[in-house]
Structure 1
Amino acid sequence: MTSVIFLGTPNFGSVVLEGLVKDSYDVKAVVTQPDKKVGRKQVVHASEVKQMAQKYDLPVYQPAKLSGSKELDELMEIKPDFIVTAAYGQFLPSKFLASAKIAPVNVHGSLLPKYRGGAPIQYSLLNGDSETGITIMEMVKKMDAGDIFAQKALKIEPEDNSGTLFEKLSILGRDLLLETLPKFLDNTVTRTSQDPDQVVFSPNISKDQEQIKLTMTASQANNLIRALNPDPGAYLMLDGKRFKVWKARVADEKTDLPAGSLVSNKKRFAISFADNSVLDLLEVQPMGRKRMDIKSYVNGQGSHFKVGEKIIDD
């Protein structure tokens, strides 16, 4: 059996991991991020990759930092055929990558060299791209800079958000990986160097990026909402308070109202944005409340605002 050390953390990685197991790869070890406390009650949560590893009784390693850890020493002794990563979230030491007998391989959620970094799926939505995809690539010391072994594109649908794209790309990534690994074994794999002139980076989303700004057009605001759903969520400052928007739609109409004004709260809740554009909010979450559809909001708090009044803070 072909041996693998697998590294990953979110559900994207768990789908790839299960694919390897079901395709009869010998997964010698699974490395994932440490358990973390989540929510108001600070409940300890194991990563989706850890949960998948436990389902198949696979050995799990969870160093806070792999480099210099005792876990790394143990993993170095395994010397698997492949080291495979899928959204692990840490840089890997060069000596560890070199311990793979055949290749260290990464499943990356973009069409490299576009969107190197930790948030490729989010940036494809932020920038209004029409497609994204998966790259199977060689892991090297420099971030996402290795040679490309395989790529496959995926159309981004208007209703897609980060959650739906992660789900679609995890399946595409699993399938493309399982198509590619056997090519190493029969010497038919190809490799293509990345064009450095085409490199685009996608750093992790910052706290500042979570706010929907009035300098945005309705389309840009909608792209941000899609990119940050389901985590961490984009927000407006409405009446001085954070007001999360989970789903919206760009309206066909134009308005002369200043950006941040209420265009309508009759059976809809529409806000003006830059370039006279209008955004219909469809699913929202006022501070301290649960998520709700816009009908529930308009029938309650949303009915107190007046059309034409500026209700969104800069």
Structure 2
Amino acid sequence: MTSIVFMGTPDFSAPILEMLVEEGYNVLAVVTQPDRPVGRKKVLTPPPVKVEALRHGLEVLQPEKLSGSLEEQRLVELQPDLIVTAAFGQLLPESVLELPKLGCINVHASLLPAYRGGAPIHQAVMDGQSHTGVTIMYMVKKLDAGDIISQVEVAIEDTDTTGILFDKLSLAGKNLLKDTLPFIIDGTNKRVPQDESLVTYARNISREQERMDWTNTSTTLWNQVRGLNPWPGAYTTFEGQNVKVWRAKRVKGKTGAKPGEIIRNDKEFVIQTGDGEALAIYEIQPAGKKKLSIDEFLRGVGSTYTLGARFE
């Protein structure tokens, strides 16, 4: 029976691990990131993959850094036939890449060579793409640059946020890996080199990418809000205070207002954008407050956000 070490960390990865167990693969161990403090109270919380692994009684390894660690030595002891990764969050050292006889494969949430890097789902939504997908690929020392084994396309709907798309792509990745693994194990899978001329990158989201620039178009800002929901959130500034915007929609129709100016604050909360159109906000989080629906906002603190005032 083929022995596998699985590496992954967030919610995206947990269903993929669950599939490996349900399909009867011999999962020797699971490698994931260390427990981290979460929330305002900084409660030490295990990653979702650890929770899933312990539910099945699997050995869990949590190196802060895999290279040169005791956990790396443990992998050498286990001698897996195959290593499967999905959003693990660390680069694998060359010694690990060369360890399994069937290689190391990765379940990556984009249609490579597009969107190599750590935030492919966020970036696809923020860029206004109509579709993305999942790629299963061999891992090499260079980030997300290995030969493509299989791919599946997934549509991005107007109603999708990054959170919704994470779930769609996790399911697609689980099913694609399930279908692909038998071919990898018997050596009949495809290997298609990536076209380097088509490479794009989706690096981890920076603080600057979270800030809303009201001189942008309504579509750009709408995609930004969707792409940063549910984490880390798009934000703007009002009277020196950061305000997060969680849900919005585009509003057609030209006005003479300046970008960032409040042009409606009764049944809707509408802000002028740089293309002469506007963005209607439906869920907002002023500094020091919880997330508020637009009704809650306008009945409370939103009443101080007067017509003609501007977001920066």
| 2:7 pairs with 1:4 | no
TM-score (norm 2): 0.98
Using the TM superposition, give the Cα deviation of residue 218 of structure 1 relative to its aligned residue in structure 2, in angstroms: 1.3
Q: Which stretch shows the higher mean deviation, 273-282 or 298-307? A: 298-307
Q: How far did 1:253 drift? A: 2.2
Rounded Cα–Cα distance in structure 2 between residues aligned with 1:137 and 1:23: 20
1:111 counterpart letter in structure 2: L
Letter in 1 for 2:15: V
Rounded Cα–Cα distance in structure 1 between residues aligned with 2:187 and 2:86: 23
The answer to whether residue 136 in structure 2 is matched with residue 136 in structure 1 is yes
Quote the residue 1:95 is aligned against: 95
Equivalent-residue separation in structure 2 for 1:298 and 1:253 (angstroms): 23
Per-residue CA deviations over 1:106-127 (Å, capped at 9, x if unaligned) read: 0000000000000000110111
User: Does the 8 A contact of 2:28 with 2:58 survive in 1?
Assistant: yes
Which residue identity is paired with 1:312?
A: F
Alignment of 1:33-52 (within 5 A): 33-52=33-52
Aligned AA for 1:18? E
Aligned to 1:294: 294
For residues 131-185 of structure 1, the C-alpha deviation after alignment (integer angstroms, 9 at most, x for no partner) is 0000000000000000000000000010111111111100100110111110123
Number of corresponding residues: 312
User: Does the aligned pair in 1 maintain the 2:9–2:32 contact within 8 Å?
Assistant: yes
- Cα displacement (A) at 1:47: 0.1
Tell me which moved more, 107-116 or 180-189: 180-189
Distance 1:71 1:94 in 2: 15
- Which residue does the alignment assign to 1:14? 14
| Contact 2:215–2:260 under 8 Å retained in 1 | no
How much does 1:214 deviate?
Answer: 1.8
CA distance in 1, matches of 2:296, 2:188: 58
Q: 2:192 maps to which residue?
A: 192
Indicate if the aligned counterparts of 1:67 and 1:93 stay in contact, CA closer than 8 A: yes
CA drift at 1:200: 0.1
Q: Which amino acid aligns with 1:60?
A: V
How many Å separate the matches in 2 of 1:116 and 1:8?
A: 17
Deviation at 1:310, TM superposition (A): 3.2
CA–CA separation in structure 2 for the residues paired with 1:46 and 1:19: 20
* Contact 1:258–1:310 (8 Å) recurs in 2: no
Q: Is the 8 A contact 1:7 1:86 kept in 2?
A: yes
Decide whether the 8 Å contact of 1:219 with 1:250 is kept in 2.
yes
1:210 alignment counterpart: 210
Which whole-Å CA distance do the structure 2 matches of 1:76 and 1:216 have between them? 51
> Does residue 255 in structure 1 map to residue 255 in structure 2?
yes
Offset of residue 103 of structure 1: 2.0
Aligned positions of 1:1-314 closer than 5 A = 1-307=1-307, 309-313=308-312
Q: Shift of residue 186 of structure 1?
A: 3.1
Q: How far has the Cα of 1:65 moved from its partner?
A: 0.1
Equivalent residues of 1:134, 1:169 under 8 A apart: yes
Contact 2:36 2:45 in 1 (8 A): yes
Consecutive unaligned residues in structure 1, runs of 5 or more? none
Give, in whole Å, the separation in 1 of the partners of 2:164 and 2:305. 33
Q: Percent identity?
A: 46
1:38 deviates by 1.3
Give the Cα separation in 2 of the matches to 1:304 and 1:73.
60
Cα distance in structure 1, aligned partners of 2:206 and 2:305: 31
SS in 2 for 1:232: coil
Local SS of the residue matching 1:100: coil
**Aligned-pair distance for 1:20?**
0.6
Deviation at 1:304, TM superposition (A): 2.7
Which SS does the other structure have where 2:306 is aligned? coil
In structure 2, C-alpha distance between the alignment counterparts of 1:310 and 1:299, rounded to whole Å: 18
CA-CA distance at 1:60 after TM superposition = 0.2
Provide the C-alpha distance between the structure 2 equivalents of 1:288 and 1:238, rounded to a whole number of angstroms. Answer: 13
- Contact kept, 8 Å, 2:2 with 2:185, in 1: the verdict is no
Q: Distance in 1 between matches of 2:88 and 2:164?
A: 19
> Which 4+ residue blocks in structure 1 deviate beyond 3 angstroms?
none
TM-score, structure 1 normalization: 0.97
Question: Helix, strand or coil: the match of 2:246?
Answer: strand
The code of the aligned residue for 1:155 comes to: A
Matched letter for residue 199 of structure 1: V
SS of alignment partner, residue 142 of structure 2 = coil
Q: Write out per-residue CA displacement over residues 64-120 of structure 1, whole angstroms, 9 at most, x where no aligned residue.
A: 000000110111121212100000000001111111121211000000000000000
CA–CA separation in structure 2 for the residues paired with 1:163 and 1:306: 32
